[in-house]
Amino acid sequence: MSSSFHSSSGPQTGLGLGLGLSAGPGDHARRAHDDALWGAFAAAQTSTEFCTSWLSLQCLQVADVRAALLLLEQGSGTFVPAAVWPSEQTDVTYLAPAAQQCLSERRGVLLPGQAGAMVVVAYPVELEGQVHGAVVLDVAERSDAALQLVLRQLHWGIGWIETLFLRRQNGDDAQALQRARVALDVLGVAAEQARLDPMAMAVVNDLASRFDCDRVSLGVDRGGRARLLAMSHSAFFEKKSQFVTALENAMDEALDQRRSVVFPAAAESHGGIAIAHRDFAATRAVCSVVLSSRGIGVGVLTFERNQGTPFSAEET
């Protein structure tokens, strides 16, 4: 990280560090609270938990923070809130201009006298020369030297966020490799069949076994609508049945959005419309994956689990 600091003058208040020699009940309570925050950070299993506990720790270490916001890139230059402090219901919209300036200038900024705030401190989240987000704090007024210490704290604290991005990148690479292996295996299964129908049946049977599903179905695009081609372990199905109609509606829902659709939604999924999937699923877990050729959806694979584990974000 190589961001520069920009400061503005303000009242000389200092940091107010307490160095008491004896610990009273209040000290023990604060220590227990601090330990709980560090424990939550160390035990974080999801990106949401990681970011929420990280932002809480920054506010703990900076002191006298009124509100805080962590923005992270979601994709294609879009930045969305990854964490808000002191609670996710806190209105932090007034911090948006500082975040925008920080992101556009790619450096730490100090902005006293902002509307509705005391002093706004913003610092970019940067990895290998690429800006991935920003952290913005509304803090009490303090000296220039103390504000520089706030920027320095964020500078070092953001190193943990960089660790998260590296973990994501490594995880993405590992997932891409695993998916490539699965794709090659499935292609091998398909290549053993000379005709379309037996090939489709072989593929869905293999996928059902490979992903521990009760049923996998393959639909293809016919004039803008999904039409069921094969259903695992079923040599025959009634094309006009209510079940097949509901299944094809779910496939259409994925095709129309050009994205995978999961119901129930995975914990870290980015939403999407799943009305047809909800109607089709009933008590089952359902995941539809769009098959694309040159950016155009040509088919859908729909996976079903009657009981047990729902589909995770990694599986989609």
Instruction: Verify that 205 and 123 share a domain, yes or no.
Output: no
Does residue 66 form part of some domain? yes
Dist. CA 228–CA 237, nearest whole Å: 9
Does residue 199 form part of some domain? yes
Q: 263 lies in which domain range?
A: 193-305
Predicted local confidence at residue 283, as pLDDT = 87
Report residue 182 as tokens. 């699965």
Does residue 111 form part of some domain? yes
pLDDT higher than threshold 60 for residue 113:
yes
Cis upstream peptide for 124 (omega within 30°): no
pLDDT higher than threshold 50 for residue 1:
no
DSSP structure string for 227-295: EEEEETTBS---TTSHHHHHHHHHHHHHHHHTS-EEESPPTT------HHHHHHHTTSEEEEEEEEETT
Percentage of the residues of the chain whose pLDDT score is greater than 90:
37
Does residue 78 form part of some domain? yes
Average pLDDT over the chain, rounded to whole?
79
Residue 25 pLDDT class (50, 70, 90 cuts): low
Dist. CA 70–CA 234, nearest whole Å: 50
Instruction: Verify that 209 and 241 share a domain, yes or no.
Output: yes
Q: Which of 85, 57, 89, 60 lies closest to 71, judged by CA?
A: 85
Instruction: Verify that 204 and 149 share a domain, yes or no.
Output: no
Q: Which of 236, 181, 195, 189 lies closest to 208, judged by CA?
A: 189
Report residue 76 as tokens. 């294609």
pLDDT higher than threshold 50 for residue 4:
no
Predicted local confidence at residue 76, as pLDDT = 66
Instruction: Verify that 35 and 150 share a domain, yes or no.
Output: yes
Dist. CA 20–CA 18, nearest whole Å: 6
Which of 2-6, 93-97, 179-183, 290-294 is least confident? 2-6
Predicted local confidence at residue 245, as pLDDT = 95
- Give the residue with greater pLDDT, 294 vs 86: 86
What is the average pLDDT across 138-146?
Answer: 91
Dist. CA 203–CA 35, nearest whole Å: 51
Predicted local confidence at residue 243, as pLDDT = 94
Does residue 20 form part of some domain? no
Predicted local confidence at residue 241, as pLDDT = 93
DSSP structure string for 194-225: SSHHHHHHHHHHHHHHHTT-SEEEEEEEETTE
- At 256, which CATH number? 3.30.450.40
| DSSP assignment letter at 89 | T
Model confidence over 271-315: pLDDT tens digits?
578 999 999 998 899 999 988 877 788 889 999 998 767 887 666
Instruction: Verify that 117 and 219 share a domain, yes or no.
Output: no
Instruction: Verify that 205 and 295 share a domain, yes or no.
Output: yes
Predicted local confidence at residue 169, as pLDDT = 57
Instruction: Verify that 221 and 166 share a domain, yes or no.
Output: no
Instruction: Verify that 200 and 159 share a domain, yes or no.
Output: no
Does residue 266 form part of some domain? yes
Residue 86 pLDDT class (50, 70, 90 cuts): very high
The structure's pTM equals 0.48
Instruction: Verify that 123 and 202 share a domain, yes or no.
Output: no
Instruction: Verify that 159 and 204 share a domain, yes or no.
Output: no
Instruction: Verify that 150 and 198 share a domain, yes or no.
Output: no
Residue 240 pLDDT class (50, 70, 90 cuts): confident
Predicted local confidence at residue 173, as pLDDT = 46
What is the average pLDDT across 164-181?
Answer: 54
Number of domains composing the chain: 2
Does residue 133 form part of some domain? yes
pLDDT higher than threshold 90 for residue 84:
yes
Predicted local confidence at residue 267, as pLDDT = 63
Predicted local confidence at residue 35, as pLDDT = 76
Instruction: Verify that 213 and 297 share a domain, yes or no.
Output: yes
